[in-house]
Amino acid sequence: MHEMGIILHLAKSLEETAKEQEIDKILRVTLQVGEVSGIMTDYFTDCWNYFRKRHPILETAELELETIPAVTFCSGCERTYPTVRYGRECPYCHSGETWLLRGNECIIKEIEVE
């Protein structure tokens, strides 16, 4: 379960940012999570709710998750397609010479403060 490790890193990053910016309280954190990042959003939310109570600056902070759709590029036909629907094989030319363009990220998009 890597969700806990990500939450620990997120909490540390948020605390450092709050200290640098002289922020006393974070109200909401919007996180963009890639569709194929492997993050289990239910576990992630549970971990957030557990750890935010142990970090005074995050104690009442809400977590909002946005999904980044996974998109794959095919070098055979130079087209993109939705990764989850078609997987590694290009639906247009059936090439296996593909790579993920996006959808594996975990990005802090926005922090709402008091």
Q: What average pLDDT values come out for the chain (114 residues) when binned by 10 residues?
A: 85 93 95 94 91 90 96 98 97 97 96 92
Q: How high is the pLDDT of residue 113?
A: 94
Query: Residue by residue, what is the 3-state secondary structure of the chain?
Result: CCHHHHHHHHHHHHHHHHHHHCCCCEEEEEEEEECCCCCCHHHHHHHHHHHHCCCHHHCCCEEEEEEECCEEEECCCCCEEEHHHHCCCCCCCCCCCEEEEECCCEEEEEEEEC
**Is 3-68+103-113 CATH 3.40.50.970?**
no
pTM of the entire structure? 0.83
The single-letter code of the amino acid at 89 is E
